[in-house]
Structure 1
Amino acid sequence: MTKPLLIAAAVVCGISLQANAATFAYISSPGDGLISQYRLDQSNGALSLIEQVSAGDQVNPMAITPDGKVLFAALRVKPFQVLGYRIDPKSGHLAPLSKAPLAESMAYLSTDRKGHYLLGASYGADTVSVQAIDKAYQPSANILTYKTGPHAHSLRTDPSNRFAYAGNLGADQVLQYRLDAKTGALTPIGRGYISVPSNTGPRHLAFSPNGKYLYVVGEMSGTVTAFSINDSTGALTQISVANGIPERLKLAHGEVRDARNNDLKDDPTPRIWAADLRISPDGKLLLMTERTSSSVSAFAVDPSTGHLSFLENYPVEEKQPRNIAFSPNGRWLLVTGEKSEKVGTYAVSDKGALKRVGEAASGKGALWIEVLQTSVE
């Protein structure tokens, strides 16, 4: 085949693959117990609501298996349980598949990088958990639990799948563990944690694509802290901190919240209340949500050193934005607002600037977002 024909064939192949690929977003809304399925057009950011599945009261954190075949969703009412849904690769439709108990009410859910274990973090019970997932995608009823300091808020494994880290908000610690691939057991690395300044409130986590760095958002400080990951031991070393709250927002330092004072109704002071943290697919941009000001802060990431620098803070239309998610191509950002009736799509510039380009109706109190790109053969 001549060179021009090779190029033409490659272009046709690329167009065909793009035409057969679909991008779906799944968003939970605990206020009405729904999981809403959306289709995202990665060419223009258009968002379309496809269907809504009734999962159950207070459906909240979710996780998609690494192979993209199953979505797990946790219910935060007794009896605490996780529901599994099979994802149709063509339509993205969710079909009930499995059900299993959870150790506690989970504020966070994830799987390890191989899809062998379901990981959870319970804010109210100060606990992280691990349970095996069998080949039929059934989570085990035998659950490993580990007590933490006050308010565990996340648990994720690193890209190598050898280590696991947890944001421990009330203790101002980032917990560090080694993951046993055969049993799922978590073993503390060193003393088991690395501390951050008082009243930081470590919450959600993000890893650099190369697995060398971990980023942690402080709910009460509005900062993002960067850590290097020791490749052999998994131990963390702090390397950088960046503040994502410009003075013009006029926000006081945040406070620890729980079910009794989540909205701080008796405190009229506008306070920092950061939530989610996401890294772009190319690893060069970090975005953080801040709920009180309904805004998103952008940070530049140096992929070679892991260091952070604050870029700018941008308002969003979604009130009290909880979770965000990048599209697989990194061009679009999905934003949910706990007090918004819409889910928004924003175009993302190289510097993190946001421009709203689409929207779709959301469920009540929409928050958790999982995005999946399928390739239909």
Structure 2
Amino acid sequence: MNKNLISRRSFGLRMLGTSITASSLLPALTKKLYAAPLPAAAVNPHDRILCFVGGYTAHRPKGTDGNGPGITVFEMDRKTGNLSPISVFTDIASPSFITLSHDKKFLYAVNEIDDFNKEGDGSVTSFSVDPASGNLQRLNVVSSGGAVPAHLSVDHSGKYVLVANYVGGSVAVLPIKPDGSLDQPVEVIKNTGPRMPERAEDNPPGNFAISDHTSSHVHMVQSDPTGRFVVADDAGLDRIYVWSIDSKTGKLTPAQYPYLDMTPGSAPRHFVFSKDGKRLYNLCEQNSKVVYSHFDPTTGKITPQQTVSTVTPHFKGSTLAAEIVFSHNEKFIYASNRLGNSIAVFKVSPDGLLTLIDETWMHADYGRALMFDPSGTFLFCANQKSDSVTAFRANPKTGKLDFTWNFTPIGSPTTFEFLVVPK
């Protein structure tokens, strides 16, 4: 590789970038079911809200900082959004993405490593969750079915954990045992395709950051809201893959339309479905674009409708988009921009089209994961290079974000999960 090129994993160590608007500089002085976000109305005002945060530890992939302790449990202040630490599970390697089971009794974490076994796989760790304290008890650790897993989710049926292996270029299906622990993969699919360019032609001007296109790099995998299909973003092959899943065996079969080719070099990374499953919003890392598509819940066909930038036309320089989330009322979509250090705010029109209405400073560096608390009041950002979590109060009518001035110190954070604990 050309030594002048800078990879997505090392660029943040060598350059800093900021993308802000004048309004975002002003301090805010006041402020077994399908695993969709818990609607705000379902959260009793007296319930406690716990937040799990994972990230990179000393045992980590090459080219990343590893300052994290493991998985830390916080309690969220319902009025301010402040996170107070409760406990930490330290005996775990780089839990860079975590998810809860549909019944919230179990937590699953990828271990983003490549030395779990002689094959060079990563792994997945299962935990039972104390329903009162959120404390974690490890159940078991199994192979992820490929190297350096970057994402996992529980399928619609609640029977399987789906894993995206980034370096391994594969999707794995792991059965969930009755006690919540995991069995060995029953399906491992390795994607193949032509070599793609390191950068997209429609990059923001002056973008020196690149995404690795040397091979398949699966970055996210999740069921569609109907449970008929499993969808995966491959950031290395610039494709969105679609399979049908057999809920009895966990086997995956290519859908009628097995994949959609995205813009060469764009690196599709993460996506979000509308609740009805008919709209799919895909975030492309390399060119910092959101692609809105119609999704046919009967065939799995993806039909693109619109492509919009996550940065304003004024922005120049390096940026890599990271995460995309809906507001609870689905009127707004938010996307994080690493290097540019901003959160894009989109208004969603009744026909699903997006309009960029704001770009808010993260108040930190290299923000990755975004997640709303279960009430839909606060949006949290995991800032990997700043070793902190920042919190914003979201206006449900305008979509605008107000910084709470709450900084939570934690090493190399990359992922969140929330748990509601009834009082």
Q: TM-score, normalised by structure 1?
A: 0.86
Corresponding residue for residue 77 of structure 2: 41
Q: What are the equivalent positions in structure 2 for 1:124-203 lying under 5 Å apart?
A: 124-149=167-192, 150-203=216-269
Give 3-state SS (helix, strand or coil) of 1:59's partner. Answer: coil
Shift of 1:329: 2.0
Q: In the alignment, does 2:139 pair up with 1:97?
A: yes
Q: What are the equivalent positions in structure 2 for 1:333-344 lying under 5 Å apart?
A: 333-344=379-390
Q: In the alignment, does 2:55 pair up with 1:29?
A: yes
Deviations 1:268-298 (A, max 9, x none): xxx2211111111211111111011111101
Q: What are the equivalent positions in structure 2 for 1:60-139 lying under 5 Å apart?
A: 60-77=96-113, 78-79=115-116, 80-104=122-146, 105-139=148-182
Corresponding residue for residue 352 of structure 1: 399
Give 3-state SS (helix, strand or coil) of 1:328's partner. Answer: coil
1:205 maps to which of 236, 247, 271 = 271
Structure 1 counterpart of 2:110, one-letter code:
A
Q: Distance in 2 between matches of 1:356 and 1:375?
A: 28
Corresponding residue for residue 378 of structure 2: 332
Count of aligned pairs between the two proteins: 342
Q: Distance in 2 between matches of 1:108 and 1:15?
A: 27
More strand by share: 1
Unpaired segments ≥5 residues, structure 2: 1-40, 57-65, 117-121, 193-215
Deviations 1:299-342 (A, max 9, x none): 1123x422222112111112100111011222210111111132
Shift of 1:190: 2.4
Q: Distance in 2 between matches of 1:206 and 1:292?
A: 22
Shift of 1:17: 4.1
Shift of 1:185: 1.3
Structure 2 counterpart of 1:102, one-letter code:
S
- The alpha-carbon distance between structure 1 residues 242 and 281, as it changes in their structure 2 partners (threshold 3 A), is same
Q: Distance in 2 between matches of 1:196 and 1:29?
A: 29
Shift of 1:375: 2.8
Q: Distance in 2 between matches of 1:197 and 1:42?
A: 42
Structure 1 counterpart of 2:45, one-letter code:
Q
Moved over 6 A (4+): none
Q: Distance in 1 between matches of 2:358 and 2:310?
A: 8
Q: What are the equivalent positions in structure 2 for 1:1-12 lying under 5 Å apart?
A: none
**C-alpha contact 1:75 1:82 (8 A) present in aligned 2:** yes
Corresponding residue for residue 238 of structure 1: 304
Q: What are the equivalent positions in structure 2 for 1:286-325 lying under 5 Å apart?
A: 286-302=333-349, 304-325=350-371
Q: TM-score, normalised by structure 2?
A: 0.77
Q: In the alignment, does 2:326 pair up with 1:279?
A: yes
Deviations 1:163-214 (A, max 9, x none): 1111111222111111111111111112411122222210011111222211
Give 3-state SS (helix, strand or coil) of 2:236's partner. Answer: helix
RMSD between aligned residues = 1.9
Corresponding residue for residue 87 of structure 2: 51
